[in-house]
Amino acid sequence: MSTSNGSQAADPPRTAYLVKRLESALRSRLDAAVKPYGLTATQYTALAALRTSPGQSSAQLARRSFVSAQTMQEMVVALERRGLVSRAPSPTNRRVLRIDLSARGEAILRDLDDEVDDIEQAMLADLEPQHVETLRHALRVCARRLAEQATAPQPPQ
């Protein structure tokens, strides 16, 4: 396709690039929202994941928060020191520590709910409700597909 000056039009950006741009913009807004609470966007993500699914192990929480197991272990120690989470041995495997939100961690999340809702509403403001649902569905499908590929056995080379 040629433009009016005869040069070739650039290819549209890759979907992966657009997703990364969105993630970067969202992370910037989240970092600004959670900073007054002494948190990072990654710490907020971990706390929110615990609210949704309490009693996770550090490894499970790392996967849900998009960080390495080592990074999550360090983060959990820091959050525990601040009184935002607690850890206790799992009743089924004493070597696994289950992580739960403390009352203080839950209170911080409640304080942040409106601000995070505002960020999400701003992000989605130009989309019709049915397009928001389509977007959410598409993102879940894409994430699940990549996760399945990551855990599928790889053929020998």
pTM for the whole structure: 0.81
Please give the Cα distance from 109 to 51 (Å, whole number): 9
**130 CB-contact burial (10 Å; exposed 0-12 / middle 13-18 / buried 19+):** exposed
Q: What is the pLDDT of residue 7?
A: 56
For the domain made up of 15-149, the CATH class stated in words is mainly alpha
Q: What is the pLDDT of residue 96?
A: 85
Q: What is the pLDDT of residue 150?
A: 74
Kindly give the parts of the chain with pLDDT less than 70: 1-8, 152, 154-157
Per the CB < 8 A criterion, the answer to whether 120 and 73 are in contact is no
The helix (run of H) or strand (run of E) holding residue 121 is helix 103-124
